[in-house]
Amino acid sequence: MFIVTDFTNNYIVDNIKSAIKNKKIKIKSKKIDNLLVNFDQILDHDSVKEDLFLITQIDKIFNLEDINLLKESFRINKVKSIVKKLSKIILILSNKYKKVTFFLWPQDIKDDYFENLNFKKFGKSWLINFINLEVASNLSNLDNVYLIDPNNKLLKYKKKIDIHDHKTKYLVDNFYSLDFLEFLSNEICEATKINEIKKTKLIILDLDNTLWGGEAGERNYNLLELGPNSIKGIVFQEFQKRLKILKTIGFVLAICSKNDLANVQRVFKLNKNMILKLSDFSAYRVNWNNKNENIREILSELNLRQENSMFIDDTKYERNIVGSDLKDIKIFDFPSNVLILNEKFNQLKDLNKNTISETDKKRTKLYLDEKKRMSSKKNFFDKSDWLSGLKINLKIRELKDYKRAEEMFIRTNQFNISHNPISIQEIKNLIKRNTLFFETEMSDKFGDYGIIAIFSIKLKKNNFFITNFLQSCRVFERNVEDFIFRYILQSKITKKKNGFVSINRNMKNLYVQNLFDKSDYLKKINDKMYKINEEHTFDKISKIRIKLNK
């Protein structure tokens, strides 16, 4: 952790050290007089594995009084010019550091110099809000840049503290009070804990009295409590809107309900107050089986883990049954008073996203396409015939989509031989040091999978080493890895070289461990290394017709 401020930061560092009490986290700090002028002082730092926290004083960057002395027509242009320069600096830093957390600026709530004009255009409060929004707008597309708005946090935690101290401003060039510095310390500590939270990918939902009020089997579809027909109906409709938004940004939805499917389909199709459609759900189990058994089937179908899944059901009995059987699944504490349902749901921290990728936007479609593939599999006795019938097209090329690669390094567990989260900048640094990175894109007759595999090859004089190999669980049992290994062995860059594969064994990548241990073209040397049999003919995939574009 590297903390950079434009004021003396010993107080912040000491607070963090006493709060974290974790010897593994090394805290380094630096004071620079002006980030815009002296940011190069933190570029020489060995930063690629570190998190950077940036805390500045707004007058050191913008000097609000000077800006307000300008003619009105020049003020906005001046602010935007400074924001643009600041954004470029943070972009540079984001390419040097694993993660950059930038603190926006707090309101000066005790400054009544302009009184009511503070909240109108060019008033001090208005200007601070405008600057914060401009900075946020400029930095929103940077995956590894996180923004913390102290104004929002202070309101959220109902903290009443003095933010500024005029005495220290003049005595030690620090306008922030000790109370605010303590608040900043706590926010940095919280930011370090975010990585420990298991992110939710899948939300499994009950229906009756969860997505709507009443039972679908006992009421006419248009008499259920949903929408403006009742207070509860408004709550449930707003809940559906929240779920719909989560689905559009990459969360996967599923249904687990004790119901008759025909009744449920009728509600989704005919009730005009429904926000969600059946097509918004990647899987559903609507029957009278035990919910824990149904959820196990859903997890298996979607190839997702318990720890990345959340179950939402209004019935405490069902929640207890599921929780006692599936120990790692998250159980949402559904409120007995439905009026606070959305309030409780909004407070879930594991549903946060810093950025939204193109893969996120089409995630539900990817799962629905997969359901069609698996349904077609039932028509084939021979797996190779099924794979050939999919008309798979693989495109292997040097890495272009760095964002997707970084995303896969963070999210991929089961087929990940290194389990080393690598940032975009780290990938670029490795490429400079004679490591080649490749991406594999895949499509078939049902749709486009997108980029489903990333691998890297480190070249030596007589040998080459596959140091990273990641593959999406969506393409398991397609023999994709066999085609990739064959591509590597037939490549000019590996010709007349001995090939090796390194692996970091852990409980999360048992799938790829078992796959490689049983492989007939990999010979296990020890627990950390395999030797590739360059003479292997790959007979197993000779019958599978997959188009490979190099």
Check if the beta carbon of residue 244 is closer than 8 Å to that of residue 275: yes
DSSP class of residue 514 equals H
| Spatial distance between the Cα atoms of 194 and 197, rounded to a whole number of angstroms | 5
Same-domain pairing of 242 and 96: no
Integer Cα distance of 239 and 340 in angstroms: 11
Contact in structure between 275 and 226 (CB atoms under 8 Å)? no
Residue 326 has pLDDT above 80, yes or no: yes
What is the per-residue pLDDT for 95? 78
Q: What percent of the chain has pLDDT over 90?
A: 54
Confidence band for 46, pLDDT divided at 50, 70 and 90: low
Task: Report yes or no: 131 and 79 within 8 Å, Cβ to Cβ.
Answer: yes
| Boundary (domain end) residue, out of 323, 351, 379 | 351
- Please, which pLDDT band fits residue 111 given cuts at 50, 70 and 90? confident
The total domain count for the chain is 3
Residue 550 has pLDDT above 60, yes or no: no
To which residue do tokens 């179908």 refer? 301
Mean pLDDT along residues 358-369: 82
Cα-atom radius of gyration of the chain, to the nearest Å? 27
Taking residue 296's Cβ as centre, other Cβ atoms within 10 Å add up to 17
Residue 99 has pLDDT above 70, yes or no: yes
Q: Over the stretch 464-480, which tens digit does the pLDDT of each residue have?
A: 999 999 999 889 988 89
**64 pLDDT higher than 70:** yes
Helix, strand, coil % in the chain, rounded to nearest 5: 45, 20, 35
445 and 500 in a single domain? The answer is yes
Q: Are residues 192 and 211 in the same domain?
A: no
* Claim to verify: residue 231 and residue 296 sit in the same structural domain: yes
Do residues 299 and 397 both lie within one domain?
no
Lowest mean pLDDT among 318-332, 347-361, 389-403: 347-361
Is residue 45 pLDDT above 60, yes or no? no
For 121, the token pair is 């255009």
300: Cβ contacts below 8 Å, ≥ 6 apart: none
**Range with lowest mean pLDDT among 122-126, 182-186, 239-243:** 122-126
Angle at 416 between CA 544 and CA 358, to 5 degrees: 80
What is the band of 42 on the pLDDT scale with cuts at 50, 70, 90? confident
CA distance 435 to 424: 14
Ranking 242-246, 355-359, 521-525, 533-537 by mean pLDDT, the lowest is: 355-359
Cα angle: 203, vertex 209, 211; to 5 degrees: 45
Q: What is the pLDDT of residue 195?
A: 59
Q: Please give the residue range of the domain that contains residue 116.
A: 2-196
306 inside domain: yes
Does one domain contain both 192 and 206?
A: no
Q: In the predicted model, what is the mean pLDDT of residues 521-546?
A: 81
Q: Which of 196, 219, 237 is the last residue of a domain?
A: 196
Residue 362 lies in a domain: no
What pLDDT, on a 0 to 100 scale, did the predictor assign at position 41?
80
C-beta neighbour count of 321 within 10 angstroms: 16
Domain end (from 332, 351, 370)? 351
**Quick one: pLDDT at residue 307?**
92
Higher confidence at residue 364 or residue 510? 510
Say what the pLDDT of residue 303 is.
Answer: 82
**Confidence grade of residue 545 (pLDDT, cut at 50, 70, 90):** low
- Looking up residue 528, the CATH number of its domain turns out to be 3.40.630.30
Assess if residue 282 is contained within a domain: yes
- Res 247: pLDDT: 94
Instruction: Evaluate whether residue 112 is within a structural domain.
Output: yes
Task: Name the pLDDT band for 511 (thresholds 50, 70, 90).
Answer: very high
335 & 217 share domain: yes
Residue 408 amino acid letter: M
CA trace torsion 236, 241, 246, 250 (10° rounding): 120
Would you say residue 275 lies in a domain?
A: yes
Cβ(75)–Cβ(122) below 8 Å: yes
- 296's tokens: 């196990």
Q: Which long-range contacts (CB under 8 A, 24 or more apart) does 475-481 make?
A: 475/442, 475/449, 476/303, 476/414, 476/415, 476/511, 477/383, 478/387, 478/390, 478/392, 479/387, 479/540, 479/541, 479/544, 479/546, 480/394, 480/440, 480/442, 480/452, 480/453, 481/415, 481/453, 481/515
Give the pLDDT score at 50: 80
CB 263 within 8 A of CB 220: no
| 332, pLDDT greater than 90 | yes
Q: What is the pLDDT of residue 547?
A: 63
Tell whether 284 is covered by a domain. yes
Please report which confidence band the pLDDT of residue 143 belongs to, taking 50, 70 and 90 as the band edges: confident
Mean pLDDT on 522-544 = 82
Q: Return the percentage of the chain with pLDDT > 70, whole number.
A: 94
Report how far residue 123's alpha carbon sits from residue 119's, in angstroms, rounded to the nearest whole number.
6
pLDDT at 284: 95
Largest CA distance in the chain: 81
Tally of helices (H runs) and strands (E runs) in the chain: 21, 18
pLDDT at 510: 94
Mean pLDDT calculated for residue range 534-544: 70
Confidence of residue 411 (pLDDT cuts 50, 70, 90): confident
**Can you tell me the distance from the alpha carbon of 419 to that of 425, in angstroms, rounded to the nearest whole number?**
17
Asked whether residue 431 falls in the same domain as residue 514, the answer is yes
Structural element, H or E, at residue 512:
helix 510-517
At residue 250's C-alpha, the angle toward residues 130 and 469, to 5°, is 110
On whether both 97 and 215 belong to a single domain, the answer is no
Could you give phi then psi for residue 378, rounded to 5 degrees? -65, -20
E strand or H helix at 489, and its extent? helix 480-490
3-state secondary structure 249-292: CCCEEEEEEECCHHHHHHHHHHCCCCCCCHHHCCEEEEECCCHH
130 and 208 belong to one structural domain:
no
* 48 lies in the same domain as 159: yes
Name the nearest CA neighbour of 243 among 199, 212, 286: 212
Which of 71-85, 149-163, 305-319, 370-384 holds the top average pLDDT? 305-319
155 or 194: which leads in pLDDT:
155
Judged against a pLDDT cut of 90, whether residue 371 lies above it is answered with no
How confident is the model at residue 82, as a pLDDT?
A: 94
User: What is the rounded end-to-end Cα distance, in angstroms, of the chain?
Assistant: 41
In this structure, what CATH number is given to the domain that contains residue 105? 3.40.50.1110
What is the arithmetic mean of pLDDT over 477-495? 90
Q: Which range, of 24-28, 299-303, 457-461, 508-512, averages the lowest pLDDT?
A: 24-28
| Mean pLDDT confidence for 519-523 | 91
Distance between CA atoms of residues 369 and 151, nearest Å: 43
151 with 187, same domain: the answer is yes
Residue type, 235: V
| CA proximity to 191, closest of 136, 140, 133, 144 | 144
The per-residue pLDDT of the chain, averaged, comes to: 89
Q: Given pLDDT bands bounded at 50, 70 and 90, which one contains residue 106?
A: very high
- Residue 389 above 70 pLDDT? yes
* pLDDT tens per residue across span 256-265: 999 999 999 9
